[in-house]
């Protein structure tokens, strides 16, 4: 409690005077009033179980009646199973890190856990986060975390792309032989080919996805100010498709730069110039259709598995608190992301092969349907899962790195925990 007060009220001489303490209490009480009023849906001055469930649902967190009772009981002093303003104020005035929004921050399915794919549903922010400007800090922290995570797992990502395009029943490539081949051809630095543009596309994609998501929610919501789960999913999928459409040429460039041989391109702009000159503008949208189609199965299964795991933990292991530990959060995110990848991976493989077609010698320029038929005929069903081993191998380190860096960035940017 004291640490929370000191972290917001210390002046340059490392002392806490009365005016600073008073200012902190007033500002914090205003925030508590805003939160209390937003939860009190029927404006009767009390918060009940139904209102807690509805408010959390509006923020993207579905909980059962039993879980809502646990939250309410932790605040309810007089045993009425409702919370008035005095109970709310006394409970949260010196406990800013244990409120409902903190629970939501833990449990909402967040793109902070970056695994290098661009098919996730956008982050959703509370009205308070939007009005106070915290949303852009959170997006910035997420972008930096994604950049560090992708850089750390870039060798495995390059191996995945390498196997997707070049591996077959006649040209078997293992992890060991693949890395040996890459090291022999371009040295250690070649393991990070394509990483620069993979990092560069995070910021524009995140910004476009977030802005589009806010607009689609307004268009799709059946009731003003309320967004149902299926509407949120539809808005997220459309926002992802919009962002992908805008930055897709960078996706194609990333694949080409990842697969390039030593001396093939002097840099990103040289690559773009040569692709434009030799193949035309349409080359920058090769593989676009399977990429867009991959958003639905990835995001849908990812969200469904995450919700199931979350509800299982809350039902069986949540006792005194609804806040999970870091390991639970990372575990749920890792498993749900892996399941989402399993569902969408064949489409990702088709996309990558279509993006790389013109740069591979002797490769046929095939549309999506014919490419699927060709792979199924020559390599069977499992041919659609070439390169999935390094893809799975990078999930745990990618999720762990992005989470740790995100938390450090939150602290550095002054986002209160």
Q: What is the pLDDT of residues 51-110, one digit of tens each?
A: 877 777 766 566 777 777 777 777 777 778 888 888 777 776 655 544 555 556 666 666
Structure confidence at residue 94 (pLDDT): 58
User: Torsions phi, psi of 84, nearest 5?
Assistant: -95, 180
Provide the residue count of the chain: 417
Structure confidence at residue 108 (pLDDT): 65
Q: What is the pLDDT of residues 12-54, one digit of tens each?
A: 455 556 676 677 667 767 767 777 777 777 788 888 888 877 7
Q: What is the mean pLDDT of the chain?
A: 81
DSSP string, 10-48: --TTS---HHHHHHHHHHHHHHHHHHHHHH-TT-SSEE-
**Token duo for residue 306:** 């995450």
What count of other Cβ atoms lies within 10 Å of the Cβ of residue 250? 20
Structure confidence at residue 95 (pLDDT): 56
Task: Give pairs for 272-281: CB < 8 Å, separation 24+.
Answer: 275/358, 278/358, 279/358
Q: How far, CA to CA in Å, does 154 sit from each of 157, 159, 161, 362?
A: 5, 9, 11, 27
pLDDT at 160 over 80: yes
For range 334-351, the mean pLDDT: 90
Structure confidence at residue 9 (pLDDT): 44
To 10 degrees, the CA torsion angle through 86, 91, 95, 101? -80
How many Å apart are CA 72 and CA 117, to the nearest integer? Answer: 38
% of the chain surpassing 70 pLDDT: 80
- Read off the pLDDT band of 10 (50, 70, 90): very low
User: Torsions phi, psi of 215, nearest 5?
Assistant: -70, -45
pLDDT at 2 over 50: no
How many Å apart are CA 301 and CA 338, to the nearest integer? Answer: 10
Q: What is the pLDDT of residues 267-296, one digit of tens each?
A: 889 999 999 998 899 999 999 999 999 888
Name, of 1-10, 24-33, 171-180, 408-417, the range with top average pLDDT.
171-180
Structure confidence at residue 345 (pLDDT): 93
Q: What is the pLDDT of residues 228-260, one digit of tens each?
A: 777 878 888 898 899 999 999 999 999 999 999
To 10 degrees, the CA torsion angle through 13, 14, 15, 17? 80
Structure confidence at residue 24 (pLDDT): 65
Question: CB–CB of 318/356 below 8 Å?
Answer: no
DSSP string, 111-170: TTS--S-S-SPPP---HHHHHHTHHHHHHHHHHHHHHHHHHHTHHHHHHHHHHHHH--SS
- Compute the C-alpha angle 193/198/199, nearest 5°: 110
CATH numbers and ranges of domains, the chain: 2-100 (1.10.238.10), 127-412 (1.50.40.10)
How many Å apart are CA 297 and CA 302, to the nearest integer? Answer: 8
Question: CB–CB of 342/391 below 8 Å?
Answer: no
For range 299-324, the mean pLDDT: 76
**Token duo for residue 45:** 């001055």
Structure confidence at residue 181 (pLDDT): 93
What count of other Cβ atoms lies within 10 Å of the Cβ of residue 324? 19
Look at residues 355, 354, 324, 179 and name the one whose alpha carbon lies nearest to residue 252. Answer: 355
How many Å apart are CA 51 and CA 73, to the nearest integer? Answer: 14
Q: Please give the radius of gyration of the chain, using alpha carbons only, rounded to the nearest integer.
A: 24
């Amino acid at each position: 409690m004291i640490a929370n007060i000191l972290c917001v009220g210390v002046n340059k001489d490392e002392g806490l005077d009365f005016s600073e303490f008073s200012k902190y209490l007033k500002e914090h009480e205003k925030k508590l009033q805003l939160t209390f009023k937003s939860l009190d849906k029927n404006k009767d001055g009390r918060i009940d179980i139904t209102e807690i469930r509805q408010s959390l649902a509006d923020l993207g967190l579905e909980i059962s009646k039993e879980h809502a009772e646990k939250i309410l009981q932790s605040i309810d002093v007089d045993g009425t199973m409702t919370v008035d303003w005095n109970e709310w104020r006394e409970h949260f005035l010196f406990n800013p890190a244990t409120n409902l929004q903190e629970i939501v921050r833990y449990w909402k399915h967040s793109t902070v856990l970056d695994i290098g794919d661009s098919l996730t549903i956008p982050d959703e922010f509370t009205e308070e986060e939007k009005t106070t400007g915290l949303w852009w800090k959170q997006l910035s922290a997420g972008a930096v975390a994604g950049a560090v995570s992708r850089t750390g797992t870039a060798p495995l990502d390059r191996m995945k792309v390498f196997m997707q395009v070049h591996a077959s029943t006649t040209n078997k490539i293992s992890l060991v032989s693949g890395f040996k081949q890459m090291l022999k051809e371009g040295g250690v630095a070649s393991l990070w080919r394509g990483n620069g543009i993979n990092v560069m596309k995070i910021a524009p994609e995140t910004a476009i996805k977030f802005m589009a998501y806010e607009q689609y929610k307004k268009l799709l919501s059946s009731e003003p100010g309320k967004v149902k789960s299926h509407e949120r999913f539809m808005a997220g999928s459309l926002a992802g498709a919009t962002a992908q459409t805008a930055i897709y040429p960078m996706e194609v460039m990333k694949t080409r730069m990842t697969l390039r041989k030593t001396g093939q391109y002097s840099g990103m702009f040289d690559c773009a110039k040569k692709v434009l000159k030799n193949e035309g503008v349409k080359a920058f949208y090769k593989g676009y259709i399977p990429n867009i189609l991959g958003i639905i199965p990835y995001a849908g299964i990812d969200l469904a598995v995450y919700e199931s795991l979350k509800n299982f933990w809350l039902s069986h292991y949540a006792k005194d608190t609804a806040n999970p530990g870091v390991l639970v959060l990372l575990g749920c995110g890792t498993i749900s992301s892996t399941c989402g990848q399993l569902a969408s991976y064949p489409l990702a493989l088709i996309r990558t092969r279509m993006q790389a077609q013109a740069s591979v010698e002797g490769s046929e320029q095939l549309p999506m349907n014919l490419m699927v038929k060709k792979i199924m005929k020559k390599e069977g069903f499992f041919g659609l899962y070439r390169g999935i081993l390094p893809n799975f191998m990078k999930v745990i380190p990618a999720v762990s790195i992005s989470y740790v860096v995100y938390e450090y960035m939150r602290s550095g940017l002054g986002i209160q925990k």
